[in-house]
A = this chain, B = another copy of it.
């Protein structure tokens, strides 16, 4: 492979940064368990985020059309419901497919299989950078 590396073999273009960001990945996975949606406060706790951080990430996800945000009053208390949109479900499934590829590639990896964990000795002539 080193002599003929396949261009972009490990580029993983499908790891869309909107979905791949750690907190947003947690939000989407959380929402994927609840087709009917989650209240803001529950989502915040499940993802261990602050109000501000959750709001910021929801703006990104709503802007990309991945989640729907709904409001209502429960008596005088405002409530916010978040749920995966049809487009969000589709794109999350695509993203998960790419994640499977990463895990598939890594599972085959020889450097991870080696029990002793030490890399093989280098040929003479190499100096640490």
Contacts and interface: CB of A to CB of B under 8 A. Distances in A.
| A interface SS class | mixed
Contact of A6 (B29, B46, B71): B46
A117 interface: yes
Interface string A23-40: 001110111111111110
Interface in A65-123: 68-73, 80-81, 83-86, 89-90, 92-93, 96, 99-100, 102-103, 105-106, 108-112, 114, 117-120, 122
Contacts of A109: 29, 32-33
Interface residues of A, number: 75
A72 B2 CA distance: 17
